[in-house]
Amino acid sequence: MTNPINAMTPPIEVIEASATSEFPNGIRFKVKATSTSNIESIAVRFKIGLINTGIYEYLSYAPSDTVEAELFYPTNTLAGYIPPETIIRYTFEIQDSNQNVYSTEPQDLIYEDARFEWERISQDPVSVAFHGPIKSRAESLLQVIIDTLKTMGPILGANTDEPIRVTLYNNQKEMLDALPTGSAAVGRELITEGMAFNEEGSLVILGGGAMANGTASHEVTHILNHRAGHSIFRRIPSWLHEGLAEYGNVEPGYSYSYALEFAVAADRLLPHLFMQTLPGDPEDIIIFYGQSRSIVEYMIFLKGNEGMRKLLKLHQDGTNMDDALVSIYGMDRLGLTNSWRKALGTTQYEPPNIAESKPTAVSYPTVEAFTLTPKAGGMTVSDSINDNKSIDSQPPAGSCNSRSDNGSDVGLLSMFLFIAALSSQTFRRKL
């Protein structure tokens, strides 16, 4: 995209300035400028989507009174990745040897995937980009996202007026090259249905998937969660982030409900409120999601939407999770866990004692360590439920909805066989 810009007054004149998307590799900035004296520096200042902090970079050129400068800003690394359709707002600053400084007016670049010709449809703050004969699918996803914003915005107390940019890919091959480094490697074995980029306010969705509407609803709720509860002190814990995202899913699948029923019947419930990361075992991941959605339903059953809004606001303000839960629900994570388990009609959770003092003749107590041996790449359980000062962590945004390459949910066969005759426990919403 090229934008001719005329300087209002001499001595510096910007003849031409542009920013061009070369997604997924990067952004190319160009400036042609002239001055009555040698131009000493040309820099670009730009902001990425809704991220508050900006980036400042110098362009390369041969010094003269008339110059053509260029900068290629790479985005094909994990640290520098920018999702497609993100709005890049940029301005150039030029300084000459007489200390004259000129700044261009801000311009916007849609950082679109340069491999395709895109069409866009929009409603209110949501824009959906698509290519090929899938306009009806794009319209369906747009409506699903709008419906999710209307439903979940009041529950979370999230800002629903800020832009949300969606890129709709037709198949897995198209989508893999658009994902951050590392995600593509996972995608060779698992089909990633969608990914949310919370800070940028962007979504990438596999439009050809049967789960596209549910995925879009789930992922946009992640963005709302971030807006309502993200804190500079700690991230929203995974159980709450994923539980709310599934609670907001307008087309939820049955897998998570089946997994929860299986875990209750087999006494395999996870201590998910105390887990620092998602589990590594495929069956446990699905159980984790089922438990997370169920406990969010239970929390809203107890204190309604207002309770959830207050909890997220306390978290955003820096209150640790146990203190926030006690303030709203009158119980910490252990109390909430066992209250929820009681409602499900299952066993109570007894946390491990990592240090057990015994009376001895020596001055220091004998410490008996308790350890849990995880499976390879498996879950990590927090060492102590009383360590309320630790930072709640969450896995990188995205890859929330994955399935095996044959389209079936990973690792669910044994669950389906086990719980064929069971029915799920649900909680009535309290508004």
169: nearest Cα among 122, 216, 108: 216
pTM, rounded to two decimals? 0.80
The Cα 226–Cα 204 span in angstroms is 17
Name the residue range of residue 94's domain: 2-111
The Cα 123–Cα 140 span in angstroms is 12
Signed CA dihedral, 276, 236, 55, 81: sign only? positive
Is 200 a domain residue?
yes
Asked if 287 contacts 260 with a C-beta cutoff of 8 angstroms, the reply is yes
Radius of gyration of the chain (CA): 26
Indicate the residue among 62, 90, 111 that finishes a domain. 111
Q: Comparing 31 with 209, which gets the higher pLDDT? A: 31
Is 61 a domain residue?
yes
The Cα 261–Cα 302 span in angstroms is 21
Same domain, 128 and 215: yes
Same domain, 58 and 125: no
Q: Determine the longest span between alpha carbons in the chain, in angstroms.
A: 88
The Cα 325–Cα 234 span in angstroms is 15
The Cα 346–Cα 366 span in angstroms is 34
CATH of the domain at 68: 2.60.40.10
User: Structural domain tally of the chain?
Assistant: 2
Is 297 a domain residue?
yes
Same domain, 166 and 281: yes
Same domain, 138 and 270: yes
pLDDT for 368 beyond 70: no
Is 314 a domain residue?
yes
Asked if 194 contacts 218 with a C-beta cutoff of 8 angstroms, the reply is yes
SS3 content of the chain, % helix, strand, coil (to 5): 30, 25, 45
Is 360 a domain residue?
no
Same domain, 101 and 154: no
Structure confidence by residue, pLDDT tens digits, 68-112: 999 999 999 888 999 999 999 999 999 999 999 999 999 999 999
Q: Comparing 133 with 184, which gets the higher pLDDT? A: 133
Q: Within 13 Å and on the Cβ side, how many CA atoms surround 393? A: 10
Q: What percent of the chain has pLDDT over 70?
A: 77
Same domain, 75 and 130: no
Same domain, 187 and 284: yes
Is 336 a domain residue?
no
Beta bridge partners of 95: 41, 101
Same domain, 124 and 102: no
3-state SS assignment for residue 274: helix
The Cα 74–Cα 388 span in angstroms is 40
195: left (phi > 0), else alpha (psi -120 to 50), else beta? beta
pLDDT band at 401 (very low <50, low <70, confident <90, very high): low
Residue 409: what pLDDT? 42
Q: β-strands 107-111, 86-96: how paired?
A: antiparallel
DSSP class of residue 235 equals P
3: nearest Cα among 75, 84, 92, 83: 92
Is 248 a domain residue?
yes
Indicate the residue among 111, 138, 163 that finishes a domain. 111
Same domain, 311 and 195: yes
Residue 427: what pLDDT? 64
CATH of the domain at 270: 3.40.30.160
Indicate the residue among 81, 111, 141 that finishes a domain. 111
Same domain, 51 and 163: no
169: nearest Cα among 203, 207, 139: 207
Same domain, 64 and 185: no
Same domain, 98 and 150: no
Is 342 a domain residue?
no
The distance in angstroms from the start CA to the end CA of the chain is 48
The Cα 391–Cα 411 span in angstroms is 31
